[in-house]
Copies of this chain bind each other. A is one copy, B any other.
Amino acid sequence: MNASHDEIDDLKMKILDAAKERFQVYGYGKTTMAEIAKDVNMSAANLYRYFQNKQDIAVECSDLCMSDRSNKIREAVRQPGFSAVERLRTFVLTSLKTNLEEFEKYPKISELIELVSKEHKELVKDKVQAQCAIIAEILAYGNETGEFDVKDVIKTSSTVHASLILFDFPLFDGFFSHAEFEMMANNVVDLLISGLRRN
């Protein structure tokens, strides 16, 4: 009997969940294929029917985490009562908070980040794209409400993202305290807003 795509995807997801848990807690290096396999009641060999290799698991895992993050942020931003300005601020503060909290809770994640940053830059590009899309949505909304006056929403979204990168990438942890980060984030948002505003 041939397994349906759904069944395969289901199993892939189970594997990814198990792997994610172990990567977060013990780090990439310290989790073995055998352990992941045991978590989902199969042999290590059989994992290779679902993934090319260990690194692939890590990559799909990271991809999934980033998507989750993006979804979370998108939801936080889409609060009905929010103005575009509030949305932009929420975007930055939620990104920042998510980054800081995740890093505090699972320091081992830096291993995955390093892996993805060195090889697999395409994933990072995808993440940037996703973030820009959210920003673009906010900008377009701001144009509608009259809060903003943005000519080229796509181009500007990537510009805004570039100026917010300090709060979107966990590369600067340790240089500033959470409070400092938050204050800086608010200040940058204020400045950006005044640049985006219809005068």
Contact = CB atoms under 8 A, between A and B. Distances in A.
A162 B175 contact: no
Given A164-B163, A195-B191, A184 B171 contact: no
What bracket does the count of chain A residues touching chain B fall in?
A: 20 to 34
Copies of this chain: 2
A interface secondary structure, majority: helix
A183 to B, nearest CB: 9
24 contacts: A121-B174, A125-B175, A155-B187, A156-B191, A158-B184, A158-B187, A159-B184, A159-B188, A159-B190, A159-B191, A162-B187, A163-B163, A163-B166, A163-B191, A165-B165, A165-B172, A166-B166, A191-B192, A192-B195, A193-B195, A194-B194, A194-B195, A194-B196, A195-B196
A195 to B, nearest CB: 3
A124 interface: yes
A163 B175 contact: no
A81 to B, nearest CB: 25
A155 B196 CA distance: 20
A184 B155 CA distance: 9
A160 interface: yes
A198 to B, nearest CB: 11
Given A159-B188, A162-B184, A191-B192, 8 more contacts: A121-B174, A159-B187, A165-B165, A165-B166, A165-B172, A193-B195, A194-B195, A195-B196
Given A195-B195, A199-B199, A188 B175 contact: no
Q: Which 7 A-B pairs have the closest CB atoms?
A: A195-B195, A163-B163, A159-B187, A194-B195, A191-B195, A162-B184, A165-B166
